Structure 1
Amino acid sequence: MDFKEITSAPINEAYKALRTNLQFCGFIKKFKTLAVVSSNPGEGKTTTVSNLAVVTAKSGIKVLVINADLRKASYVQGLSNYISGFADLKEIITPSRIENLTYIDSGSKPPNPTEILNSKVFSDLVTELKLVYDIIIIDTPAMGSVIDGAIVASLTEGTLIVTSPNKVSFNEFERLKIQLGKAKANILGVAMNNIPKDEYKKYYNRYYDMIEL
């Protein structure tokens, strides 16, 4: 994940508003861990994780981002290597170019990503890192075909759903909510991407009962 300064003023303000709305739900002040999930690839989940982390870190808060999409290999040692016992914690933590923002990549692609995320080692790692960082934001695989995101959501204190009306159907979104409900995830709200300005009110009214942000 490439963390960059947000050069667009409207986008920067939008992510500051997202951070503030999450804070109203208790994020940062009352709890430290946030899973970010989506139904399908291409809905803007990873971009949301990156930009939310940047605006939060730039406010003076110590942020750690974990890439828990173990189905995509990275070129550096990361989460899967640590959980499998092939790397120490200090070997997988990488400072970013943004002050106060640190990153753990996914690591080598394992044969059993779901089992790794469902392990006590991962749960204990998150608990340990909460003692070091002000907040931890965890990026997850799209939940349309795998259960990994729900597992991560069950371990975190809050969950943010990222969706795009151009990438997901209403039924797919409902299935995502049901999965998260079974995992007893604490859904804080929904961040919607790629809404045309002339259709904003239509989508807002349609999803209003599901949106807490």
Structure 2
Amino acid sequence: MPKGKFIVIEGLEGAGKSSAIALIKSAIEHAGHQVVSTREPGGTPMAEAIRECVKKDWQDEQVTTEAELLLMYAARAQLVANVIKPALNSGCWVLADRHDMSSRAYQGGGRQVPDSMIEPLREITLHGFHPDLTLYLDVEPEVGLARARGRGELDRIEQADISFFHRTREKYLRLCADDSNAVVINAMQDMDKVQQDIVSAFARFMGQQ
């Protein structure tokens, strides 16, 4: 049985990841593949509990940058070992709402954690494992956060200052420039054009398989 493919959707808050995921899921199923959907942090019972720890506002207790980073990789370790790799080995395609690029952008870029601290965690957790395709939906932070606020109350990370999100976006773009499996989608266009670009990027990926 051929191994499945691992596709990740990345982006800032309000970039339109949910719509992109639905679009890609439909395209994968139309191509005849079974899809397993995941999200990060989360995707397993333990990882979902870690997600709550990460997202929660702990009131008078400061969540340190180091704790946040370690929690993200702990959740990822559980998800990769218990869901993603088994699904891929069984022939399923895995479609993820965020993966390792998020930590490198949010904690590495936004929180300004140096690569020298992140790389050992990546090695322990992933051992070189990486997506076959990453679609990064690029949106200006002001635009994305305005969309996110329209959905409801922002979580602890979403409440960070705007400079945090500008640093995160800049790191995302640098990471994509260095990753041959990553495609940047302009998510500030009209929705129809964004969807067309997503479908086109996926079609090019399928044509390479």
Q: TM-score normalized by structure 2? A: 0.48
Structure number with the bigger relative contact order (C-alpha 8 A, sep ≥ 6) is: 2
More helix by share: 2
